[in-house]
Amino acid sequence: MDYQSWIEGIDGLASLYSFDILPDGSFSEIRLMAVNKQNEIMLHMRPDAPEFYPGIPYRNYWMDLNFENFAYKCASTSSPLYSYVNARGRWLKGFYLPISNIWDEDCLSEAPEGSRRVFCLYVITFSDEVETDSMSGRSPEIANAVLNIGIKLHETQDFYQSMADASAQIREYCGAEKSAIYTVDMDRQECSFIDETGTRNEFMEVFGNSMGRTPFEVAMAWEKDLALSDCLLMDDLRVIEERDPEWYKSLCTYEIKNIILYAIRYGQTLVGFIWAANYDVSRTDHIKETLELSTFLLAAVIKNHHLMSTLEFKSTVDPLTQAGNRNAMDEYISGLAQRKEGMPESIAVIFADLNGLKKVNDEEGHDAGDKLLMRAASLLKLVFGDNPIYRIGGDEFVILCPDVTEGKMNEQVSQLKGMADNTSDVSFAVGSVHCQGTYDLNVAIQAADERMYQDKKAYYERG
């Protein structure tokens, strides 16, 4: 039969597939029989793909296990199927249609003895925006499950609690032993592992270490494991063993028998994964349909959290030195004053001003001045460690060190001066105040500022 002439009469991106139902009820590999001209781009998805011919194994062009499951089910049961998914930033409608009237004697003669050859027509359309009508035509069970997940996402303003509640809802619906939401911040290359008990980043680190990967590298490996699909729903781990042996070994260590991995995307940006293990495989179709709709809700919440975190970061962090800014210092001081246990029993205040910054800016340019500021901030971080450091002006830094002795404060100031003296360009004027008992922190900062100016005056008098 001339499959190509037949398929050219179909509008949309169309392709025709066939496979054999073998005597034992199993299926042969899927073969690509024809592709219409509108869809020829699929033949070039892999640069190393061989030249097309009717009946070529479709995996020569790509491998999507979810597509395969739909094609097998459609053709073997003569049931039309439909899918609507977010495919890497574009919404994809997929129509699977069983075809039974294109058989001929040549086709039948090629089939193994005792087998039955079947065909599936696959037609897809794309859109950049979600179509709410396409999402709403779902069964009451699926609609209710998605609604419950959506409610959990908005019952609290606490992002991590809402993710934990949603994770619990997903685990229950999937009939899984374990479930989590793995958030991914592509800009910062940071991840979080959140299950129904809350954030478990320590487990995430251990989980990643078992594969020799950082948490972000785990996410990137999962993205590769998806192989351009939106999800993996594996009732066994054979495909994972083939695609990602390190992940497979890790899953076996945790006694995981089957796995769900569903990408969460906001537009074309990966923002996370739904992860579930040892789930009820008898509910696979319902689970897939529910999660593909739930990712739309999850993506919006995660992306909003990333946006708010970025805005908060920008409002409290000096972008050049990565020290806190004046807003962050004011918030820290306010937080200390509002603590139930009251202000720290003692606190050291160090006011450090970078000498010579104006001269460097004037003579060498602001790029040189920026580099000098970054080197100065690095020295402050080396000396004062985890204590909060703030850049409150062009060349002014304040360091607050709660619960240190006056002797320790003086030792650190001397250490800072000594380290600066051993550089060719960094020099600090420093003023310090040690507070104990009852004190006003803002008054202490002002006093440290005045002492810093005395030190700066002495610096310039020395020439």
Cα 176 to Cα 170: distance, rounded to the nearest angstrom = 8
- What's residue 107's pLDDT? 52
Cα 1 to Cα 103: distance, rounded to the nearest angstrom = 8
User: Torsion-angle region of residue 228: left (phi > 0), alpha (psi -120 to 50) or beta?
Assistant: left
State yes or no: pLDDT of 130 exceeds 70.
no
Q: Are 119 and 30 in contact (CB under 8 A)?
A: no
> Could you give the 3-state DSSP secondary structure of residue 388?
coil
Q: Cβ atoms within 10 A of the Cβ of 408, count?
A: 14
Cα 408 to Cα 413: distance, rounded to the nearest angstrom = 9
Cα 193 to Cα 204: distance, rounded to the nearest angstrom = 6
- Going along the chain from its start, the domains and CATH numbers come out as 3-130 (3.30.450.20), 138-314 (3.30.450.40), 326-461 (3.30.70.270)
Q: Are 256 and 277 in contact (CB under 8 A)?
A: yes
Beta strands in 38-149 (DSSP E): 56-57, 81-87, 90-99, 116-127
**What average pLDDT score do residues 293-322 get?**
86
Q: Which residues contact 440 (CB under 8 A, 6 or more apart)?
A: none
More confident position, 41 or 244:
244
Tell me the percentage of the chain whose pLDDT exceeds 70: 94
User: Residue 73: phi, psi to the nearest 5?
Assistant: -65, -45
> What is the per-residue pLDDT across 173-217, written as a single tens digit (0 to 9) for each?
999 999 999 999 998 899 999 999 999 999 999 999 999 999 999
**What average pLDDT is seen over the chain?**
89
Q: Are 398 and 445 in contact (CB under 8 A)?
A: yes
State yes or no: pLDDT of 66 exceeds 60.
yes
